[in-house]
Structure 1
Amino acid sequence: MEGGLGWLMLYTRVCGLSWILVYLALSLVLGLMTHITLHLMIVGLMICLVSYFRLPPPNPTIVRQVLGTDPAPGLPDSAVDWLIAHRAACLDAPENSIEALRLAAKNGAKIIEFDVSFTSCMSPVVFHDDTVDRVTQATGHISSHTHSNLKKLNLATKHPLGSSFEFSGIPDLEEFVAECMKLNMKMIIDLKTYEVPEETISVILNLYKKFPGMKSCTMVTSFFPHLLYQLRRKDPEIVCSLSYRPHFFAFSTYEGTNVSMKPRFSGFMLHTANLVDILFPWFLENFIWFFVGLSAVLVHKAVVTHQYVSDWRRKGVRVMAWTVNDPLEKAFLIHTVGVQCLTDTLEKVKPDQWVLKD
């Protein structure tokens, strides 16, 4: 699709859709009517602009090294790394900890997913939440804690299996990546620090410089396309995916139903965020993936259907589902839909294929 007629058709489609949207908006506001020749000229100009700013996906060989065999229903477990340890399989051990990473490797995981946050002194650490309240004995925003303060916090304190771990600290990002490389684990690095894009990009690029082997075993993901675009603008060979769930911009939580959702805003801001949530999936499927050069999308399990996976495969983009903890859901998504699953636990309930066949 990157060369010849296929390349031209793809650029024409994306730019044509872009101009149609702009033109319809202008027509509604200004009653604008123009000759067909002008439309063709503008689409041609947009193709030139998009071809300059658009970031093609990385070399397919690199993408395959990072993502492995393209999953499909019926492939044996040995052919695909079906399960990805979400937050280092955070139900089996303290979340995003070195202990969880080592246990995940012992339990057979080949791919680990983890998150990046910054301390008050802008030291990058492996941590998911905005605050430390949920998983430690302390309170407050992680960015308000110093690095030395965070190092005293125990991730095992509130973990269901915490008694099995004497002390489990919040790891530095570089420390965690070094351990992944030592264990020969592939990585999915989730960037949530959208407020500090330059610092975030700098940290990730420095990691790739320090550990050159990351190019063939690491994918960077984020809910924020601008982070991925800026990162790939600096290094186009970095494999990236976009994370997505319904109602992300308007609501801070989503578990597949409206009941579980907590609004981020109120009043006009909430209505605006709701509008963005309505429009975003269409833009993702028609523009963002193409412009950023995505190799995969990591989506909430409630979104995943056969048709959804098929639509993305036609674009050459892989679908991964999160967060899948129920054994029956894992079995269905893996053996019937053919998608890899991010999971909080690597505990196996056997035989999962038997459940589906009967």
Structure 2
Amino acid sequence: MTELTPGAPRAEPDPVVFKIPVDTLPRWLRLARFGLGWLTLAYGGGALLVMIALEWGGERLWLLSLLLFAPPQVMLLPLLVLTPLCVVFRPRLCLWHLAVVLVLAFGYMNFRWSWPPPRTEKGITAVTFNAGQSSRTQFTEFVEREKPDVVVMQDAGTTLAAFLQTKLPGYHVARHGEYSFVSRFPIQKSALLATPLGEGRPVGARFEVLVNAQPMAFYSVHLPTPRRVLSHFMGGRRILGDLAGVSRRDPLYGSYGEWLEQRIQLARDLRQVFADEKLPFIVGGDFNLADHGYIYHLFAGEMTDAFKASGRGWGLTFPGSTRNPVAGFGPWLRLDYFFAGRGWRPVECRPEPGKKSQHKAVLARFEPAAGK
């Protein structure tokens, strides 16, 4: 042992910058675990409330209406931060994160489990297709393979219906504006809908055919796309202006809130057309609306959504080809529909395979409703 020499200066101890009490780290860990619990509760409850609000409010809550056309998976983005933290500090909370994923994927996104019955002689197979910016080769191969009784088309141009007629010999064709109709059944009447008008143009056409010597109606629908309006109003100043109630009115659309009201009224007027129909009828087309929200339920409350009643999977139709990683590089919206009106019930509904079309074609099979 080294002894200090009397009178020699003593060595100064190293200065203590700070001193951590023994119980500090466990206290921090408890706080982190406590905070993660509340964050998980807030996230799960908030996500559930947003899903409910989107489902039943949608366009009536204009700030939420912007989410209707976004990939639903955006609601899972907070888990990119929250889940890794919970894996480290509170692994059991990851089960709640998984529960949110399952509710979103299999509840909110309307995953269906139906299995179609065999075809019958009394049934009708129909296909709807928005031909604009879509793969006509993929579509015609789909039609040749399925051989539907009826094809309703929007944005069809002047040649697609005639071309389909060469693939389906003996079929009848009618065309009005952008709406083309190809049918195995004789066409008795056809006309554009006089009302309502969307952005100054007809939003549908009506075709009356004879099925087993009985008249019925098919409607082909194409509601205005929201893309132009959403991109027009998505600027930060416009959104903040609408929030504050001081936004400048667009000469064509008004404010974003006014545009939503116009869109809701258009849907109400079109729903009334279907409510006034006297014949058994089926509606197909590009409704340009997500399968959630106030407007969707206007139609689904009047008629039966064929995919929701008899589909399998998610039934997503738009966009067929995408580079969006949030949506898994695939479609994230169901914009194209078949609805069964009185006299018919859906037994199968599915989009075409492949990703070459902007809008996927949708096939549905219908059987006469009980007592018809």
Say yes or no: TM over 0.5: no
Q: How high is the TM-score relative to the length of structure 1? A: 0.36
Higher helix share: 1
TM-score, length basis structure 2: 0.35
Larger Rg: 2
